[in-house]
Structure 1
Amino acid sequence: MLNKAQTLKGYKLHGLDGEIGTVNEFYFDDHYWAIRYLVADTGNWLTGRKVLISPYALIAVNKEEQYITIDLTQRQIEDSPSLDSDKPVSRQFEEDYYEYYGWPLYWGGPFMWGSYPTYPYIERDREKWREPTQGENAWDPHLRSTYDVSGHHIQAEDGDIGHVEDFVIDDETWAIRYLIINTQNWWPGKKVLISPQWIESIDWYDSTVFINLSCEAIKQSPEYTEESQLTRDYETGLHRHYDRQGYWVDESAAKKHSL
């Protein structure tokens, strides 16, 4: 199911032995544009600590009752490697974090979730983690905050079209499927969706995202509104407008190839 990041913000987190807090924001990598951590607001429980929850622990999203089920206990989270709230996520922290929980490193192979060819889905079978894998070409992730990237300028091939307002997240794969772009600086009121696959480059220092689409093509694209239903028909029409193949086609082929 597709959910906006701002919609998930504030959702309660239900652990194995009680509520552990609420969703605050997300960290994603700029290679696969996949969510790597949910940042939890634990209130007064773990004051001064930034608590990160990997999608490996996210079991299900309940949209009706606005909570996410977490496969962790409060004690597990409390004893996990500590990340100070004023520090970025370092590689050392991530290695300690994944070793503590016994999860495979997501950057340890060529796929979105590491070496296990269930791309792009998360392999949750611990027995399969022990199986030998091939082509383990590790990559270097750079983590970004959805909070920090919101507001970044969007530069089309022939001009500025607006800024990043939100993100659309797939809660099965935890991939960011779209950036929601507010174009009010270019033409009033319209919002559009842009896939990370259409991004040409990003200037993180200048807070600018460059996409290889023209302003006119974006202007004529299907509008996104708060009432829009992110159905497969809507997505198909969006990709057809830009003459791009849907991500679900590539992922379906990859999944069949891995079987």
Structure 2
Amino acid sequence: MGLAVYNGEILDIRFPPCVFKKLLVMNNSANCVGVVTNLSLYDLKLVMPSIANSLQSLLDYEGNVQEDFMMKFVVSYSEFDSVKMVELKENGSKIDLTNENRKEFVQLYIDFLLNRSIYEQFKAFYIGFHSVCATNAIQLFRPEEIELLVCGSPEPLNIDELKLITLYENYTEHDLVIRWLWDIIKYEFNSNQRRRFLLFATGSDRVPVGGFKEMMFKITRVESKEQLPIAHTCFNQLVLPQYKTKESLKSKLQIAIDNAEGFGIK
């Protein structure tokens, strides 16, 4: 992911926002990597909504928490065929959950799920990212801006902008097939189909930060009139046969897009 940011490439991944928050934490100790203490119930809800809703219900509960829940400051989780118990704080197995300390319990629970339980795994991820993007400038970014650099913009696609930056090999922008293609994408495809076309042709359904002008896109002619369009996503290249009719082009293109995963992409 660090290499993608460094090289200005976008990735078709969807991490929850807390991942980018954790990546931006600078630590002075090699033993304290990527630990974030201020993650909230909102952050947890974007990752584990059912657990977050249960914790919110605990905070909103108007009865006697100690008597009705009978819980301690511990959390249990499954590991293979066994159940593990972890104390959320020192001597947590001896501390009753009450109305007075439930806010602390919830925050410790969030910290366990989003920090402590994945510490070693995230440490490797954090070190890998910062080994490539180790610069003070990275601290000037907000988490959502890092997400934009990695995943691209979710804004509506500007097909005219994509058309302007497109290069052609054995085609020209005036060829009938090319004019059909842009007409189909712009006027006959809905927004979801346009994104699926972009995913098929480039490997990502999002636009790079800065717009299409930050990328290259090429359409190459192939002599066969029967095969489906092919995409070389590493090069943002669409290999397009010279179909005889607009209807044939649209049909073949739709089949290729709908079956893009594991087929038609090289």
Greater helix content: 2
Greater RCO, CA 8 A, separation 6+: 2
| Structure-1-length-normalised TM-score | 0.25
User: Larger radius of gyration, structure 1 or 2?
Assistant: 2
Q: Higher strand proportion, which one? A: 1
